[in-house]
Structure 1
Amino acid sequence: MGRIPPRQLAQDLPDSGRAPLPGRWAMLAVLCASLLLVAMDATILNVALPSLIDHMDPSPMQQLWIVDLYGLVLGGLLITCGAIGDRFGRKRLFIAGFLLFGLASVVAATSHTPMQLIAGRALLGVGGAMVMPSTLSIIRTIFTDDHERTQAIGIWASVAGAGAAIGPLVGGHLVQSFGWSAAFWLNVPVVVFTVVAGLWLLPEYRAPQHGRLDWFSALLSVLGIVALAWGIKHVAKGNPAPVDLVILVAALLLLGLFTYRQLKSPDPLLDVRLFRNRAFTAAALATLLAMLAIGAALFLISLWLQYIHGFTPSEAGLRTLPAAVAMLLGSLSTPWLLQRIGVRALMGFALGAVAVGFAVLAAVPDTTYPVVALVLFTLGLGDGLAITTAAAVLVSAVPPERAGMAGAVEETNYELGIGLGVALLGSIHGRLFVSHMTDLPLQGEQLDTARGSVGGAAYVADQVGGPAGAHILEIAQHAYDSALTTTSWISAAMVGAVAVLTVVLVPRGFTAASAH
């Protein structure tokens, strides 16, 4: 009997009737290479921004779009792209998305104006949204054994988490050595290699029973998620403009209408009834809170390393590596732990570890780098365990033809978690910082600049110079540490509450395999 073609094999037979695909681990390597780039691009530009500003002189609004647009577009399109992949082919969407990602990298790297760079960032977001849910859904297709699938998801999650964590490190070295455009040129050779390997190795999968795509619902989801992320981010910064409040209200209305249409549709883009499954809801919450925590921690600790201890961007990035290493260890150990202690205990332990990490950062009176390294390791370990466990639950909770949907839920919470972590906890820290910046020997514009951020305070201290400048910097450092302590207590309370909630939601004895 002749060999069944991979496309027919993946599409026509249930998991229990399929033999393991040969070359599936090589396929996983291709998927992880693409995921690494997409995850890194969420944070790699942070350290390149000062160099980019010197080169292009973008306006403050253009700077905001350059930084924010990638995540907004990526997060907004994930649900739609997951549904498109289920209907028209996950491999096809993956290859097309990564080709667009490579083209967008060239557009961004060759930018001579801020508007060209903004356009490149938007295209990168579209390409990333096509790639990310495809990676997890293809894993669902090519790994038919529950244990192997959990191992593969562990590797996938470690790459996703480590990509965001090492973005500042890679970006810092590239920018210092070759300039800001190197952060985008890095993508091109990886795209070429991955597309060629993907065309050769990956099987196709699509679910022919799906009906026509509901484009109006797709538009509602894109506009709703983008507006929600924008509104929360700007409201959290304090003193929001009326238009920001209008955008936030509009986001809630759009998402409410989207939910209503999904409940009425026989073939929804996102089956919101899945959230009636308590374990599915717990997994989605765990992903959101885990990424919210690590996104905020990396942002605040990176600033702490640079402005409180005077490290360069690349040196600061190097010192955040404990988080990336711990994420890798946590993700890779999850399959072994899931078999022994189950979803409920592992998810509670993972989020509990994140809460403990923040509590240690808050409780230690004299914060030194060894303490921060321990905190980063604890946060990374908890995040790696939580994200991998959540991904295994989400993918197992849906039938194969809905794997793109599960991937979209995981990735949307992943991206929103990073963005909201910086927006919410970063804004709380910023307000607390301002409240501690008292008794400054400054007036007018210099006073406003110094109270605006620790970077502004360092800039003013350098301008003033002498003992007065040193005194300003000392006040700013104390204010930053005090604000970090309070923000860490708030973070520990938030994550701890969700840890308890997930333990309550997940049924006793529940396993990822039992979600089928």
Structure 2
Amino acid sequence: MTAGRRWAALAVLSASLLLVVMDMTILNVALPAISEDLRPGATELLWMVDAYSLAVSGLLVTVSALGDRWGRKRMLISGFALFGVASVAVVQADSAAELIAVRALLGVGGAMIMPSTLSMIRNLFTDPRERATALGIWSAMAALGGALGPILGGLLLEVFSWHAAFLVNVPVMALAIVAGLILLPESRNPAPGRWDALGTLLSIAGMVALVYGIKHFGAVDGWLALTVAVVTLAWFVRRCLARKDPLLEIRLFGGPAFSAGTVAALTTSIAMAAMMLLLAQWMQLVMGYSPLETGVRMLPAAVGAFVVSPLAPALAARIGARTVLAGGLLVAGVGFLVLFVAPSPLGYGPVALSLLLVGAGMGSLAIASAVIMAGAPPEKAGSAAAIEETSYELGGALGVAVLGSVAAAVYRAHLAVPDGFPAQAVQESLGGALRVAREAGEAGALLARQAQAAFTDSLAVTGAAGAALMLVAGIAVWWLTPRALDLSGHRELIEHR
């Protein structure tokens, strides 16, 4: 395949990532409008966010293995089609349950798209230097999607209902299908071996149970789900290690650099998912920004990542992949810490600085992707892609569930509900408290201010938790990544340090 055709194919693959990230970030901006229209409870609101991640996490391993067999191009094009169909279905969604179902269907399409793009990049770019550059561009497109999503969502919500935030996917998916059919080459594992039906069931059941257990941690059904997850996933891992042709190549974790890249992907996703969701709500419900203004004010994170991601491979060649990867996590940690140490009351200035630092730190994930994909042979690209994407999606669910729960607990602890107001509705969410305050007229003004202050406090504490997580991750990645790891040459080192 000629160099020009390879880079044209990368453009299609990067555009695929761009759209999926846009869809996730559009939801953050649209959530207040969706909440106002559908009036979901706190649990339903979390499911609206997590249904996508749950579907993707549960299906990534299976879909990646199917793509290796059936053809990665076919899987990608089919994912485009399903994503478009699900986006049309949102027109019929007039309840929280129906929207959750649409989000789950979008997750199935996302599971077909995301690992296909990564595994195809691994097979298109066999030269490590070119592959690192390609993955830097791929990561930059994720940053661009993070920038365009809120802005496009804000523009749409200024004119149309929240349904438009989903319908915008339809024409883009149609174009992606046409471009993919013309430009993308087909690739597959030439010797995939026998299909592991039991492993398929174990991976799906285990991942779904794991995400459900995280969401319902502390409840009886949550503990039961976590027990099921431990049993099924342990069985799945043991089965993969015992087979010559496993559904997922667990042995890739034998390389500490591969493990380091996975840790970086998981932890950054945990912190980012929670903070971006909280910041989108803070800007609209506390600062009073419109959806469009919120999208524009979220730009610093995308700008930082968009600038750093393409430069990360060259920087790694100069000072080492380990320094760039661990250093990026620490820079992101400083960004999260800014939210905690900023003077009260919190204003947009410190938030903009925080977003810029976090985005710049996230640029190191271009190196994480290069490390992960370099550690996998071409025929195992699907497994490497599944592991990386599972880390992102599971991290997103963990972030919303765990750090989101931390934020909710701080919000409730800092909010003293005045007499005469329904405590449950007020403490359930900031949106609920503001609805109660509006219905109370002038008497609700004090409640609104108290609720907004409590939410801002919860944002600051969650920022501190995100900073601690980034510090721990940075230390772990520094320890795991081989000192002499070379992503620009033809040596792919797996020895420790």
Match for residue 43 of structure 1 among 20, 25, 30: 25
Q: Aligned-pair RMSD on alpha carbons?
A: 2.2
Query: How much does 1:352 deviate?
Result: 0.5
Query: How much does 1:242 deviate?
Result: 1.2
Alignment pair present for 1:155 and 2:137: yes
Query: How much does 1:412 deviate?
Result: 1.0
* Equivalence for 2:229: 251
Match for residue 477 of structure 2 among 490, 502, 507: 502
* Equivalence for 1:32: 14
1:33/1:190 contact within 8 Å kept: no
Query: How much does 1:471 deviate?
Result: 2.4
For residues 457 and 55 of structure 1, do their structure 2 counterparts lie closer, same or farther at Cα, with a shift above 3 Å needed? closer
Please report the TM-score for the alignment, with normalisation by the length of structure 2. Answer: 0.93
For residues 251 and 381 of structure 1, do their structure 2 counterparts lie closer, same or farther at Cα, with a shift above 3 Å needed? same
Query: How much does 1:360 deviate?
Result: 1.8
Alignment pair present for 1:380 and 2:356: no
Q: Give the letter aligned to residue 348 of structure 2.
A: Y
Query: How much does 1:48 deviate?
Result: 3.1
Match for residue 371 of structure 1 among 336, 350, 357: 350
2:410/2:458 contact within 8 Å kept: yes
1:162/1:324 contact within 8 Å kept: yes
Query: How much does 1:66 deviate?
Result: 4.2
Q: Give the letter aligned to residue 438 of structure 2.
A: D
Alignment pair present for 1:223 and 2:205: yes
Equivalent-residue separation in structure 1 for 2:103 and 2:137 (angstroms): 27
Q: How does 1:125-140 map to 2 (within 5 A)?
A: 125-140=107-122
1:294/1:383 contact within 8 Å kept: no
Q: Give the letter aligned to residue 441 of structure 2.
A: G
Alignment pair present for 1:492 and 2:467: yes
* Equivalence for 2:327: 349
Equivalent-residue separation in structure 2 for 1:423 and 1:212 (angstroms): 37
2:29/2:295 contact within 8 Å kept: no
Query: How much does 1:245 deviate?
Result: 1.6
**What secondary structure does 2:265 align onto?**
helix
Alignment pair present for 1:89 and 2:71: yes
* Equivalence for 1:465: 441
Equivalent-residue separation in structure 2 for 1:370 and 1:64 (angstroms): 29
Q: Which runs of 5+ in 1 are unaligned?
A: 1-5, 7-19
Query: How much does 1:411 deviate?
Result: 1.0
Query: How much does 1:331 deviate?
Result: 0.9
Alignment pair present for 1:392 and 2:370: yes
Equivalent-residue separation in structure 2 for 1:39 and 1:292 (angstroms): 15
For residues 192 and 227 of structure 1, do their structure 2 counterparts lie closer, same or farther at Cα, with a shift above 3 Å needed? same
Cα offsets for 1:260-279 (capped at 9, x unmatched)? 11111111121212112111
Cα offsets for 1:319-357 (capped at 9, x unmatched)? 111111111112111121111111110111100001111
Q: Give the letter aligned to residue 419 of structure 2.
A: L
Alignment pair present for 1:175 and 2:157: yes
Query: How much does 1:506 deviate?
Result: 1.0
Most deviating of 61-70 and 90-99: 61-70
Question: What is the number of residues matched between the two proteins?
Answer: 490
Equivalent-residue separation in structure 1 for 2:111 and 2:91 (angstroms): 20
Task: Give the fraction of aligned pairs with identical amino acids, expressed as a percent.
Answer: 46
* Equivalence for 2:259: 281
Q: Give the letter aligned to residue 350 of structure 2.
A: V
Query: How much does 1:204 deviate?
Result: 1.0
For residues 53 and 472 of structure 1, do their structure 2 counterparts lie closer, same or farther at Cα, with a shift above 3 Å needed? closer
Equivalent-residue separation in structure 1 for 2:32 and 2:471 (angstroms): 36
Q: How does 1:386-425 map to 2 (within 5 A)?
A: 387-425=365-403
1:107/1:117 contact within 8 Å kept: no
Equivalent-residue separation in structure 2 for 1:71 and 1:53 (angstroms): 19
Query: How much does 1:479 deviate?
Result: 2.1
Cα offsets for 1:147-175 (capped at 9, x unmatched)? 22111101111222442454333223213
Equivalent-residue separation in structure 1 for 2:243 and 2:147 (angstroms): 39
Equivalent-residue separation in structure 1 for 2:30 and 2:202 (angstroms): 33
Query: How much does 1:144 deviate?
Result: 2.7
Equivalent-residue separation in structure 1 for 2:238 and 2:369 (angstroms): 26
Please report the TM-score for the alignment, with normalisation by the length of structure 1. Answer: 0.89
* Equivalence for 2:418: 441
Equivalent-residue separation in structure 2 for 1:435 and 1:319 (angstroms): 29
**What secondary structure does 1:270 align onto?**
coil
Cα offsets for 1:241-271 (capped at 9, x unmatched)? 3112211211111111111111111111212
* Equivalence for 1:272: 250
Query: How much does 1:24 deviate?
Result: 1.5
Equivalent-residue separation in structure 1 for 2:431 and 2:38 (angstroms): 20
Q: Which runs of 5+ in 2 are unaligned?
A: none
1:280/1:397 contact within 8 Å kept: yes
Query: How much does 1:182 deviate?
Result: 1.4
**What secondary structure does 2:343 align onto?**
coil
Alignment pair present for 1:191 and 2:167: no
Cα offsets for 1:199-253 (capped at 9, x unmatched)? 1111111122110221221221112112211211221xxxx43112211211111
For residues 362 and 112 of structure 1, do their structure 2 counterparts lie closer, same or farther at Cα, with a shift above 3 Å needed? closer
1:69/1:125 contact within 8 Å kept: yes
Cα offsets for 1:295-326 (capped at 9, x unmatched)? 12211222221222111222222211111111
For residues 133 and 458 of structure 1, do their structure 2 counterparts lie closer, same or farther at Cα, with a shift above 3 Å needed? same
**What secondary structure does 2:24 align onto?**
coil
**What secondary structure does 2:363 align onto?**
helix
For residues 376 and 138 of structure 1, do their structure 2 counterparts lie closer, same or farther at Cα, with a shift above 3 Å needed? same
* Equivalence for 2:52: 70
* Equivalence for 2:291: 313
For residues 427 and 66 of structure 1, do their structure 2 counterparts lie closer, same or farther at Cα, with a shift above 3 Å needed? closer
